[in-house]
Structure formats: structure tokens, C-alpha cells
Chains A and B, each alone.
Chain A
Amino acid sequence: MDLLPLFQWCYDTSLGETIRNSNWLFALIEALHLVGLGITGGAVLLVDLRLLGVGLTKQPAAQLWAGTRPWLIGSVILMFITGIPLFMSEAIKCLYSFPFWIKMTSLLLVLVFSFTLRARVAQAGLASGGPLSARNAALISLVLWSGVAWGGRWIGYS
């Protein structure tokens, strides 16, 4: 599949061009993107730490998952709103960037994983005898989100 025409189209949009030609826009949007990343981190960690048996251990994982879910969804939306314009401003670079693809793959996997298997583990609590232990669900989530954060940072170095 040749992605170049699609990425070229993104790059050529007036949104992409406006950000590229501005001194400030990229930096400001990126800082907002970081704030979103931080809130995502907090929402993810409260549940993952609980699944690992630390942090807020007096509360059931299901309660933490229900409480953090709106903030996870909200912060991920914030990251999409800020991340897509950032991507459009340098789409061609991203197409050939290995960290970009690491990030997108991890992101897709972790979003699907968070709202399916991990959500089910959190709702079942630690007593679940399912194929996926609470501990492994947390570790998979942490590794994938780290892939998103590291990949994102390393797009800037390529």
C-alpha cells in the first residue's frame, strides 16, 4: 500500500502549512500535547498500579477504572486534537520515521487493549482466573504506553 499520496495530502493541507510556517504554533500545540500525555499517564497509572497490587489498593480496580476512564478518554481526545495537526505539519518526515510507526502501532494496540481485555480484567478485579492475569494486563499496558511516549519523543530526533 502506497501511503505517500495520503501523507503528501496531509502535508499540503493549509493546516499543515500554517503550522510549518509559524514560529510558535508547533511549539504551543506540542506543549498541549505533552499536558494530554501527562493526564493520560496519570489515568493509566492509577489503574495499572492497582492491578500490580500497589497504589490505591483499598479500592477495587473496577472503581479506579470507572473513575479514571473519562479522564483517559478526554486526554486521549486532547492528544488526537493536538497530535493530528502536528503530524500534518511534518507528515512526510513521519512517513519515513521509524519511531512514528512504533508510536502508531503501540497506540493502536494500547487503545484496543485498554478498552477490551484490560477493561475486563479491571472490572473482574484481582480474583479473576481468566487467561490474562491482572499483573500481565498492567505490564502490557505500561509497555505499550511507554512505546507511545518514547516513539513520540524520538520522532523529533529523526
Chain B
Amino acid sequence: MSLLAFFEQLAESTWSIELHESQYAYSIVESIHVWTLCLFFGTVAMVDLRLLGWTMRGVPVSEFARRVLPWTVAGFIIMVISGTLLVYAIPIRTYQSIFFRGKMVLLVLAGLNIWLFHTRVYPKIAGWDSDGVPPKAARIAGALSLALWTCIIFSGRMIAYNWFDCDRQPQSAIVNFLTSCTPTDSGL
């Protein structure tokens, strides 16, 4: 089954239609997504700022990792659940959204950054845990994380805008390629 067929099938499910057409449910899920952004991105940003040595230099980095990151993980789980519901409510348009696709790529990159940090940088923390300004590798990881999550917020917010939507033709060939859009069968 192609991805498009999968999302088309989602779009036909009763729950998807009900969520899409409900007066408040969609808005409430979206508000939860925004509220949890404060929890998730907020705690990520504080850890990143500590890695950069830009805040609370007196607090060991391991303290941040042990006591703050669990909240980040909790926030991430709520973000994924509420975000999945938002996609589920508008499956085909979201699947073909250039911003949604960009956001997914950025999420993979952010995940890669986290993986590299935890496998390459964090194991050696004993040597710099209490340093006000952590070593360069940790600072780079923090800066990359801040930059990537900021871009993810931007691309996520832009999903709401239909500038590059498949049913808004003509679009340039590159846009239609990136959104897997075939203009002819898109309800022009």
C-alpha cells in the first residue's frame, strides 16, 4: 500500500471525520499541543542553555539531565499523541504538506543530535559535569538542539497555511515534487 493510500484510508475512517468536523475537539487537541510545547520545548531549551553555559552555571549538567529531562520526555509523549491526532484529523492534506514533511525531516535530525549527544558526549560527563561552560562538543549539541527545535516550531506552525497545497495550483514543479502532488487529480 502506498503512503498516499494509507492516508486516504485514514481520512475515510469515522474517527478522523468526527475529529475533523467536531466543533471543539480539534481546537482542544491543538491547544494541548501548544500548551505542551511550553513543557517540552521549554525544558529542552533550559537544558540546551545550560549546555551552552548560558544559564545556571552553578548547577551540574547531570542534575539537569536527571531531574529535568524526564519532564521533557513526558512532554514529548504528549506532543506525539496530540500531534498524531492532529494529523489523523486532516490526513491527506497534512501528508502532502511541504511543512509537515520538512518538520518530519527536522525531527529525525533532532533525534540524531540527541543520539549523538547521549552516545558520544554525555558518557564523558564526569570530566565536565560541574563546569560552568561545558566543552565544545556539548555546546555544539546544545546549539544544534535549540536551532533544530526552533525550526520545528516554525515548520509546525506553517502547516496551517495552504500556500503550497496540492489543491492550490499552479505550483512550481519542485513544490509538486516535494509534496508528491499530481495536480491533475487534485480537485482543481
Q: Do A and B come from one complex?
A: yes
B34 lies within 8 A of chain A by Cβ:
yes
Cβ contact within 8 Å between A56 and B64: yes
Partner of A40, one of B42, B59, B68: B42
B78 lies within 8 A of chain A by Cβ:
no
Give A124 to B153 CA distance when docked, in angstroms. 36
A39 lies within 8 A of chain B by Cβ:
yes
Cβ contact within 8 Å between A55 and B38: no
Partner of A59, one of B45, B59, B71: B59
Please give, as numbers and ranges, the residues of chain A lying within 8 Å of B58 by CB-CB distance: 59, 63, 67
Cβ contact within 8 Å between B35 and A150: yes
Task: Tell me which residues from 1 to 59 in chain B have a Cβ below 8 Å from any Cβ of chain A.
Answer: 27, 30-31, 34-35, 37-46, 49, 55-56, 58-59
Total cross-chain contacts (CB, 8 A): 108
Q: Is the interface of B mostly helix, strand, loop or mixed?
A: helix
Cβ contact within 8 Å between B158 and A38: no
Most central of A41, A70, A145 by chain B CB within 10 Å: A41
Partner of A41, one of B41, B55, B150, B158: B41
Question: What is B's interface to A at a CB cutoff of 8 Å?
Answer: 27, 30-31, 34-35, 37-46, 49, 55-56, 58-59, 63-64, 67-68, 71, 150, 153-154, 157-158, 160-161, 163
Question: What is A's interface to B at a CB cutoff of 8 Å?
Answer: 23, 27-28, 30-31, 34-35, 37-46, 49, 54-59, 63-64, 67-68, 70-71, 145-146, 149-150, 152-154, 157
7 contacts between A and B (CB under 8 A): A31-B157, A34-B153, A41-B39, A41-B41, A45-B46, A67-B56, A153-B30
